[in-house]
């Protein structure tokens, strides 16, 4: 049982706990929603079902598709030159690395994906099925009829966004068409 | 065997190894320690021990030795032996407290295995490394450490956790960064349990009716929930700091010399685990050795040959991980980012923004509720009362968290990275490491003041 002096402290402690529990409940409701969305008996399994909600799911899918492939893959990165912690990572070597580059390097590891600028992309001759991962919609600058780049659309609609997740910048996947 | 079951087996192996080490180090005093302390401390010890082995395997390019059958066999044997020891310290009330805590934190545990990797800098820093160790036999053929393509990944950081996750990947035969988060979330649950255990054991006379909601009030604040299983290692290192501080405070009130020696050795071996987690872990390991030895020398003046011998062996164990990793870094030319010359003027100009940011963080109510404000007020009052009543010696309890805070401040002063960006983006996480230790120290000082009032 609480000691005599503890009775004076107990109401304050319980009120503080209840306040924080209220915030905690906000998170747990979000967690529960995500969990309830998962079908434990689905044949594709837990991993794929959860990863489908990942904003970078399409990137992950392509990393699986291009595993062992000899096709070229490039990340087109338009350096904003502005330090923004939500999207860029400053290495101290006067280079910004975006979240997209980091996720690409992670999914495609150990394959090293070169990061190129939009200008460099224009000077590269792409082969059919080469993959372009970009932080800008290339088709808005070079018509698809001219570049031959076919945009891969998002395969899954993200239904569950994690609380506390800063929204990532949009990214675009293109594949060089034609044979 | 499912991926989750494999991780559970692996975790059991880590706990069990830790329990065996704990009982061996503490000897006949084992029964005096209850589950709320033995469980988290055993996890730290088991991780430290196996991280040292994994580091050796990575250095010798022998990582393929890790197979599912070996992991399961070792886990089963150690678990069966450890059961004999753990059953002797299980008491009903601590067991109920553990069960209740796990019940409340269950949504976070469940979330860990139902979440993709959210934090991209945790991906860059730890999960990329885990994948690289899984796909290589050791450091010589690890592309991440031999190519300049991944320089952003701060390769100087210790590799204990990536190696541990890669051992899980090897056991299941593929990358599963989702279930791997179940490994990380255990540090968070155990941190809560350790805080309860140490506060109850040593620092406070509060009953569970007050203590449990008070600790949970701190541990379910939004910042802790956010970092519980998001891939960062700040909670992991917080657990080691809590273990070291808690054991060191226990040591400070132990009068029996034999028991003191056992506790001192345990503190040093627990502190060793920090050096496998992150760069700042080396400071924690060093502090655990120096603070323990410092207290022991102050208390007993002259050490016997056996005591010196024991301290040297524990010190060698504590420095083994650091030595191996430094050697590997030297051979492969991996350097830490803190090497550039920063002028004294620049450093002086940084002091004011650092202090103001620290004070600003005290009012970070969206991350910590009013927990930090209350803790700060309590610390100031306890320091004032201690000084006014001439009991300042109790304030040495704050030594460990204050030394660590000073070392972080030192890094901010000399960092060659964008200073304001590093300060604002990392301090909240660093504070997560120190809050439990400050809580333990405050509880200890309040209790000492209370006891001296009674006499």
Q: What is the pLDDT of residue A87?
A: 44
Q: Is B450 at the interface with chain A, CB within 8 A?
A: no
Q: Which residue has the higher pLDDT, A13 or B337?
A: A13
Indicate if the pLDDT at residue A81 is higher than 60.
no
Q: Which long-range contacts (CB under 8 A, 24 or more apart) does A13-16 make?
A: A13/B210, A13/B213, A13/B214, A13/B217, A14/B213, A16/B213, A16/B214, A16/B217, A16/B369, A16/B370, A16/B371, A16/B374
Q: Which residue has the higher pLDDT, A90 or B360?
A: B360
* Inter-chain residue contact B209 with A28, CB threshold 8 Å: no
Which tokens go with B369?
């509720």
Q: What is the pLDDT of residue A75?
A: 92
Of B301, B282, B197, nearest in space to B242 by CA: B197
CB atoms within 10 A of CB B210: 20
Q: What is the pLDDT of residue A92?
A: 46
Residues 13-72 of A with CB under 8 A from B: 13-14, 16-17, 19-21, 23-24, 27-28, 31-32, 34-35, 38, 46-47, 50-51, 53-54
* Inter-chain residue contact B135 with A3, CB threshold 8 Å: no
* Inter-chain residue contact A89 with B210, CB threshold 8 Å: no
Which tokens go with A40?
């434990």
Q: Is A7 at the interface with chain B, CB within 8 A?
A: no
Q: What is the pLDDT of residue A85?
A: 43
Indicate if the pLDDT at residue A83 is higher than 80.
no
B217, B374, B426: best to mutate for the A interface, most A CBs within 10 A: B217
* Inter-chain residue contact B337 with A92, CB threshold 8 Å: yes
Q: Are strands A149-152 and A172-176 parallel, antiparallel or unpaired?
A: antiparallel
Q: pTM for this one? A: 0.93
What kind and span of H or E run contains B422? helix B419-454
Q: Which residue has the higher pLDDT, A46 or A73?
A: A73
Residue of B nearest to A46 (CA): B114
Indicate if the pLDDT at residue A165 is higher than 70.
no
Contact list in B for residue A82 (CB cut-off 8 A) is none
Low-confidence ranges of chain B (pLDDT < 50): none
Question: How many percent of chain A have pLDDT more than 70?
Answer: 79
CA dist list (Å): B289 to A90, B155, B220, B315: 35, 26, 31, 7
Residue B268, Cβ density class (10 Å: 0-12 exposed, 13-18 middle, ≥19 buried): buried
* Inter-chain residue contact B111 with A34, CB threshold 8 Å: yes
Q: Quick one: residue A130, left, alpha or beta (phi over 0 = left, psi -120 to 50 = alpha)?
A: beta
Q: What is the number of residues in chain A?
A: 179
* Inter-chain residue contact B118 with A13, CB threshold 8 Å: no
Q: Is B103 at the interface with chain A, CB within 8 A?
A: no
Model confidence over B209-248: pLDDT tens digits?
999 999 999 999 988 998 888 888 999 999 999 999 999 9
Q: What is the pLDDT of residue A95?
A: 56
Q: What is the pLDDT of residue A2?
A: 63
Contact A179, A128 (CB under 8 A): yes
Across chain B, what does the average pLDDT equal? Answer: 92
Angle at B24 between CA B22 and CA B28, to 5 degrees: 100
Indicate if the pLDDT at residue A179 is higher than 60.
no
Residues B383, B377: Cα–Cα separation, whole Å:
10
């Amino acid at each position: 049982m609480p000691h005599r002096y503890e009775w004076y402290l107990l109401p304050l402690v319980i009120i503080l706990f209840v306040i924080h529990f209220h915030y905690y409940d906000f998170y747990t409701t979000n967690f529960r929603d995500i969990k309830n969305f998962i079908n434990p008996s689905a044949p594709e399994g837990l991993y794929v079902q959860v990863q489908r909600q990942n904003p970078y799911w399409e990137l992950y899918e392509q990393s699986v598709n291009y595993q062992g492939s000899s096709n070229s893959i490039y990340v087109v990165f338009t350096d904003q030159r502005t330090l923004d912690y939500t999207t860029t990572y400053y290495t101290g070597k006067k280079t910004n690395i975006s979240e997209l580059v980091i996720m690409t390097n992670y999914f495609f590891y150990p394959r090293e994906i070169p990061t190129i600028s939009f200008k460099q992309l224009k000077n590269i001759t792409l082969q059919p099925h080469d993959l372009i991962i970009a932080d800008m919609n290339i088709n808005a600058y070079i018509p698809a009829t001219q570049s031959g780049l076919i945009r891969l659309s998002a395969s899954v609609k993200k239904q569950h966004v994690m609380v506390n997740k800063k929204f990532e910048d949009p990214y675009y996947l293109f594949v060089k068409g034609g044979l | 065997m499912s991926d989750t079951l494999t991780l559970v087996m692996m975790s059991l192996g880590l706990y069990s190894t830790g329990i065996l080490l704990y009982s061996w180090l503490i000897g006949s005093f084992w029964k005096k320690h209850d589950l709320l302390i033995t469980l988290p401390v055993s996890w730290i010890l088991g991780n430290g021990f196996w991280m040292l082995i994994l580091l050796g395997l990575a250095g010798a390019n022998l990582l393929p030795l890790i197979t599912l059958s070996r992991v399961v066999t070792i886990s089963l044997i150690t678990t069966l032996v450890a059961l004999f020891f753990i059953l002797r310290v299980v008491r009903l009330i601590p067991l109920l407290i553990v069960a209740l805590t796990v019940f409340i934190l269950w949504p976070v545990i469940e979330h860990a295995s139902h979440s993709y990797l959210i934090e991209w800098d945790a991906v860059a820093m730890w999960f990329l490394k885990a994948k690289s160790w899984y796909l290589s036999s050791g450091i010589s053929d690890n592309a991440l450490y031999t190519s300049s393509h991944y320089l952003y990944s701060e390769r100087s950081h210790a590799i204990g956790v990536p190696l541990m996750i890669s051992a899980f990947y090897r056991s299941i035969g593929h990358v599963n960064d989702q279930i791997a988060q179940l490994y990380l979330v255990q540090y968070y649950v155990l941190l809560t349990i350790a805080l309860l255990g140490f506060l109850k054991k040593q620092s406070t006379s509060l009953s569970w009716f007050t203590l449990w909601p008070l600790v949970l009030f701190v541990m379910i604040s939004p910042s802790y929930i956010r970092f519980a299983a998001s891939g960062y290692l700040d909670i992991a290192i917080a657990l080691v700091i809590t273990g070291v501080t808690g054991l060191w405070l226990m040591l400070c009130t132990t009068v029996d010399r034999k028991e003191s020696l056992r506790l001192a050795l345990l503190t040093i071996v627990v502190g060793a685990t920090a050096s496998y987690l992150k760069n700042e872990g080396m400071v924690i390991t060093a502090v655990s050795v120096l603070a323990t030895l410092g207290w022991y020398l102050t208390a007993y003046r002259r050490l016997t040959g056996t005591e010196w011998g024991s301290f040297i062996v524990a010190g060698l164990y504590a420095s083994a991980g650091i030595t191996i990793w430094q050697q590997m870094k030297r051979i492969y030319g991996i350097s830490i980012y803190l090497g550039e010359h920063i002028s004294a003027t620049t450093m002086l100009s940084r002091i004011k923004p650092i202090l103001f940011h620290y004070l600003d963080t005290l009012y970070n109510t969206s991350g910590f509720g009013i927990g930090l404000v209350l803790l700060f007020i309590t610390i100031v009052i306890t320091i004032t009362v201690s000084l006014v009543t001439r009991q300042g010696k109790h304030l040495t309890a704050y030594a460990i968290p204050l030394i660590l805070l000073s070392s972080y401040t030192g890094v901010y002063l000399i960092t060659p990275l964008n200073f304001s960006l590093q300060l604002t983006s990392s301090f909240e996480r660093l504070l997560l490491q120190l809050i439990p230790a400050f809580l333990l120290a405050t509880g200890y000082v309040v209790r000492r003041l209370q006891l001296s009032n009674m006499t």
